[in-house]
Amino acid sequence: MDTHVEDVFITQFNLKRIIPENLPEYARHDIATLVCYCQIKNIFNTNELDQFLKLWVVLEDTSILVKYYSEISDKDKPEAYSSYHHDRDCLELHKWYLDYSINNRSHKKREEISAKVRHAFKDYSYKNNYSSEGVRFDFNENTVATIREEKILGTIPENLKNELDTISIKYPGALGHLFDLYPNSGIHSYKNCSITEIENEINRLISESEAFRSSNPFIEKKIANITYADIKKIKEMQDEEKQKWAIEFKEPLSRAITNYYWIKFNPELTVNKTILDSIGFKPCRRCIKT
């Protein structure tokens, strides 16, 4: 009997998707032992802190995932449209992440729509010539803009509009009008970064966020009212100081804390292949072993 355990590569984002909502008590750490807990408890809400904690636990021992998913029914497992990779340098592993919504109750239809949308955006996912930061395609406004600064970079290419129109006609009401491309969440974000460097980054962001927050009573009151709101909700608020709090401090700090645990416990971003197979991940066709 072959007892070899094969590890494969996935992105940070995809691991977050499969982290269980509820971990058994034996698999939990004291929340007060999170990195810089005394400071970050004043920045992140309970759910956000819990996500850091669960990520830490799973990265420290990915066998928890195997045990968890072996004990639940298929209907309770997360949907997976993603691949795992045998080659750390696979082009698919490093492409940009496309974020958009699909409104359709059928699992099969969502998979079909997702495949068509990814194909339509292939020229932008693999080689983004617009910007080094996140880019938003707004099909209502016919604009391509940076997500952070909302700087207009141009109009949506005609061939992309035509492909999305074709998908929308075939699947009425399934797609929204916003499609966001983000730099890949995986390896490249920290592969040359040490624990000391990421700890320094965390401390810097905490210090700068506290300085911004207390810069004057007006801003302090504003931030106090939205401190524990989700990052996405704060970024959507029509308020310059609130958006700055989310974009320049809370969101980068969340990324830094996440990277801290990845670097410390799983710098290779590997996960047991068995668990990924069991919840619907597919081997990448580009780097599949033959």
| Closest alpha carbon to 34 in 23, 25, 43 | 43
pLDDT for position 75: 64
Of residues 39 and 105, more confidently modeled: 39
User: Are 41 and 160 in a shared domain?
Assistant: no
Helix pair 158-170, 107-120: axis angle to 10 deg = 170
Q: Give bridge partners of residue 98 from the DSSP assignment.
A: 181
The number of C-alpha atoms within 13 Å of 289 and in the hemisphere containing its C-beta is 9
| Residue 190 pLDDT class (50, 70, 90 cuts) | very low
User: Are 110 and 230 in a shared domain?
Assistant: no
**109-122: pLDDT as tens digits:** 888 998 899 889 98
Q: Provide CB contacts within 8 A for 94, sequence distance 6+.
A: 184, 186, 187, 188
User: Are 227 and 267 in a shared domain?
Assistant: yes
Average pLDDT, the chain: 82
User: Are 130 and 264 in a shared domain?
Assistant: no
Question: Has residue 186 got a pLDDT over 60?
Answer: no
| Residue 192 pLDDT class (50, 70, 90 cuts) | low
pLDDT for position 188: 42
User: Are 86 and 146 in a shared domain?
Assistant: no
The number of folded domains in the chain is 2
Quote the CA–CA distance of 209 and 30 in Å, as a whole number.
25
Mean pLDDT, residues 183-189: 56
Q: Provide CB contacts within 8 A for 88, sequence distance 6+.
A: 9, 187, 268, 269
Question: Which of 143, 168, 183 is the endpoint of a domain?
Answer: 183
User: Are 171 and 211 in a shared domain?
Assistant: no
Quote the CA–CA distance of 21 and 23 in Å, as a whole number.
7
pLDDT for position 108: 85
User: Are 163 and 83 in a shared domain?
Assistant: no
User: Are 39 and 88 in a shared domain?
Assistant: yes
| Closest alpha carbon to 27 in 56, 57, 52 | 57
User: Are 195 and 91 in a shared domain?
Assistant: yes
Predicted structure pTM score: 0.67
Enter the DSSP assignment of 247: I
Q: Which residue blocks in the chain are alpha helix, DSSP H?
A: 12-18, 37-40, 46-60, 63-70, 91-94, 107-120, 122-125, 158-170, 195-213, 217-226, 231-235, 240-244, 251-265, 273-278
User: Are 76 and 218 in a shared domain?
Assistant: yes
**140-185: pLDDT as tens digits:** 999 999 887 788 988 999 999 999 999 999 999 999 999 998 876 5
pLDDT for position 231: 85
Mean pLDDT, residues 28-33: 88
Of residues 222 and 73, more confidently modeled: 222
Quote the CA–CA distance of 125 and 244 in Å, as a whole number.
27
Print the domain residue range for 65: 1-95+187-290
Percent of the chain with pLDDT over 90: 30
| Residue 23 pLDDT class (50, 70, 90 cuts) | confident
Question: Which of 158, 183, 208 is the endpoint of a domain?
Answer: 183
User: Are 225 and 192 in a shared domain?
Assistant: yes
Question: Has residue 3 got a pLDDT over 50?
Answer: no
Question: Has residue 1 got a pLDDT over 50?
Answer: no
Question: Which of 134, 167, 183 is the endpoint of a domain?
Answer: 183
Percent of the chain with pLDDT over 70: 87
**42-98: pLDDT as tens digits:** 999 998 999 899 989 888 887 787 777 777 766 666 655 567 777 877 777 777 888
| Residue 201 pLDDT class (50, 70, 90 cuts) | very high
pLDDT for position 189: 47
Question: Has residue 139 got a pLDDT over 90?
Answer: yes
Q: Provide CB contacts within 8 A for 176, sequence distance 6+.
A: 100, 101, 103
The residue whose two tokens read 């904690």 is: 53
Lowest mean pLDDT among 65-69, 171-175, 210-214, 245-249: 65-69
Question: Has residue 290 got a pLDDT over 60?
Answer: no
User: Are 174 and 216 in a shared domain?
Assistant: no
